[in-house]
Structure 1
Amino acid sequence: MATRQSIDECIQKCEDAIREGQKQYQAGLGQEHYSDSDYTQAMLKIEESVNDLAQLSQSANAQQREQLHRMRLQVQHLQNEMILLEHDPSTVGGTLH
């Protein structure tokens, strides 16, 4: 069974990834976004979070699984938004597909 501490650490890591992802997404919408590597790193952290949530869910009890599921929905929503944002470092700003 997953410990409360491991759940809390995973949730914290996901929240950090969401904050960084939102920051990069907002920058991607604006004209100030020039760093493709920062955007890519944020996407990698989000993907890591999705994988961590899935792995931890396997050893969680029902209440913990529900908490992890809600977090996974938030992370995947941002992941989808970032994927849909056309991110091309050769252009200024991004556009939605």
Structure 2
Amino acid sequence: MATRQSIDECIQKCEDAIREGQKQYQAGLGQEHYSDSDYTQAMQKIEESVNDLAQLSQSANAQQREQLHRMRLQVQHLQNEMILLEHDPSTVGGTLH
């Protein structure tokens, strides 16, 4: 069974990834060109969070699984939004480099 501490640590990591992802997403909305590496790193942290949540939920009890499921929905929503932002490091202002 997952420990309360492992659940709390995972939730904290996810919340950190969400904050960083939201920051990069907002930067992407406001600018035509922004830090590709920061955006990519934020996406990687979000992907790691999704994977951590899935792995931890396998050993969680019903209440913990529900908590992890709610967090996974939040993380995946942001992940989808960031993907749909059409972030493409090879383009700036719609033209190819």
CA RMSD of aligned residues (A): 3.2
Q: Output the TM-score relative to the length of structure 1.
A: 0.90
* Residues 94, 60 of structure 1: alpha-carbon distance in 2 compared, 3 angstrom cutoff: farther
77-86 vs 26-35, greater mean Cα deviation: 26-35
Gaps of at least 5 residues in structure 2 are none
Distance across 2 between alignment mates of 1:51 and 1:33:
29
**Alignment deviations for residues 22-72 of structure 1 (CA, whole Å, 9 cap, x no partner):** 000000001275210000000000000000000000000000000000000
Gaps of at least 5 residues in structure 1 are none
* Residues 95, 75 of structure 1: alpha-carbon distance in 2 compared, 3 angstrom cutoff: farther
| Superposed displacement of residue 88, structure 1 | 2.6
**Alignment deviations for residues 8-29 of structure 1 (CA, whole Å, 9 cap, x no partner):** 0000000000000000000000
Contact 2:90 2:96 in 1 (8 A): no
* Residues 3, 79 of structure 1: alpha-carbon distance in 2 compared, 3 angstrom cutoff: same
Distance across 2 between alignment mates of 1:11 and 1:18:
10
Q: Report % sequence identity.
A: 99
Q: How many residues align?
A: 97
